[in-house]
Structures are given as structure tokens and as C-alpha cells.
Amino acid sequence: KNKIKEYQDKQDLYKKYKKLESKVKEANLIHSEKEELEREVKNLKKTLELNKTLSESSYLNATVVNRNLGYWYNTITIDKGSYNGVEKDMPVIISEGLIGKVTKVTNFNSTVKLITSDDVNNKISVKIKVGDKFVYGLLSGYDKKKKTFMIEGISDITEIPKGANVTTTGMGDSFPSGILVGTVKGVKTDNFDLAKTVEVKSSADYDDLSFVTVLKRKEQ
């Protein structure tokens, strides 16, 4: 039953994409409407492209149905819940990378805590690819103006280049290893050259979340 429901959900998303695509081509749309629709079509297309890289039973797509202006970078509400197979702590991604995890589930909706949340406990274990090795640290603190994160806790003396990919480690939290978070923008070292703080440019645009993908847990 669930498998049929998942298939229908995925077919519905594709139909929605085709419908929006044809609507954009209509000449009688005012400019602002057309821009909004084009943005939705672009985001839907990215979601469908992302789906091609995932195994059929490992994900489900969802639409963002609510976002509180006062907590814009903290949480979003999606239109999938326990009825669709969503469970607490499932990772949520878009084509550009990680955006958060499910923290609350009802029958037909779920709350997703974003990794940009200002919750002090919102630290994520990440790794930076440097040559043929990884440097590990904790992702924390999102700067809304600069759209950057900080990585703390790096005592490794390895030189970290700008542009290096930052991904999840799969250790100690809900996220599997290897999900992109962003790229290195800059590195600061303390006065004794012992600890590094790395500035990370976010790979996702957190102001523009309309369609997301929930990663399901592998069945044991």
C-alpha cells in the first residue's frame, strides 16, 4: 500500500511540474506571476533531477506549506507526515544539499528544523575534503547576512583551501555521511596557530525553499 502511495506521490510531482511549465508559457500572465511560476518550475525541475540520483524507495518529495516569518531560518512545515512514511529525525535535502531534519510528525504534516536554526544545540558533525584526507569539525552558527556557517573545533594543522567541499560525517547525529553542506570561504587561526575556525558558504538558498526531499531510513 505504501509503495503505491509513494509511486503516486512521485507521479503527482511530475504532473505538477508539467502543469506549471505549460502555465508559464501562457502569455496572459502578469510579470510578477510569471517570475514566481518560473521560480517554482526551476525548483521542481531540480527536485526531479535529484530524484534520479536516489534509489526509488529511499526518499519522498514534499512541498513546503508553512514558514513563520518570525522564525524564518528555524523551521518549515511540509505536506507529508506519518501517513506518507515520514519519521522523526529523517534528513531533509534539496538538490544543492542538506537543509535540515524532521523534528515533529503528525498524520499529514511534519516540522523540519533547518540547519540554519539559532538553536544552540544545532551543531552538526562535518568533514572537509583536503586532498586525499578529511578534516573534521562542528558546523555551528549561521550568519543570515553573509549566508555562511562557521566550523569550530578544528585542531588539525592541515592547510584548508578555499572552495573545499564540506559534507556531513554520519557520526553522532541523524545525517548520513557525504551530504553537501557548502564550500570553504575562508579560514581563521587563533593567535597560537592551534585552532582553526572555518567560514563555509552555504550550498543551499534558505530563502527559497518550496520543494524538498525527505531521506528515508534504510530498512534493517
| CATH number of residue 182's parent domain | 2.40.10.350
The runs of H, that is alpha helices, within 98-179 are none
Asked whether residue 103 is domain-assigned, the answer is no
HSE (side-chain half, CA atoms, 13 Å) at 170: 5
**214 touches 102 (CB < 8 A):** yes
Q: What is the DSSP letter of 85?
A: T
* pTM of the entire predicted model: 0.81
89 lies in a domain?
Answer: no
pLDDT value, residue 85: 92
pLDDT, one tens digit per residue, over 127-164 is: 999 989 999 999 988 999 999 999 988 877 788 999 99
Counted domains in the chain: 1
C-alpha 116/C-alpha 201 separation (Å) is 12
Helix (H, G, I), strand (E, B) or coil at 152: strand
CA distances 210 to 3, 46, 85, 89, 179, Å, are 24, 11, 20, 20, 20
Q: What is the pLDDT of residue 127?
A: 95
Residue 185 lies in a domain: yes
Is 196 part of any domain? yes
H helices, E strands: number in the chain: 2, 12
Let me know: does 65 contact 77? Beta carbons within 8 Å: yes
Among 144, 139, 143, 53, which Cα is nearest to 100's?
A: 139
Q: What is the pLDDT of residue 27?
A: 55
Domain membership flag for residue 38: no
In a domain, 26, yes or no: no
Tell whether 116 is covered by a domain: no
User: Which residues of the chain fall short of a pLDDT of 50?
Assistant: 220
Instruction: Give pLDDT, residue 30.
Output: 65
Parent domain of 196: 124-202
Residue 21 phi, psi dihedral angles, 5° rounding: -60, -45
Other residues' Cβ atoms within 10 Å of the Cβ of residue 173: 16
A 10 A CB-CB count for 81 gives 19
What pLDDT was estimated at residue 220?
40
Collapsing DSSP to helix, strand or coil, 87 comes out as coil
Q: Is residue 208 part of a domain?
A: no
- C-alpha to C-alpha distance for 99 and 91, rounded to whole angstroms: 8
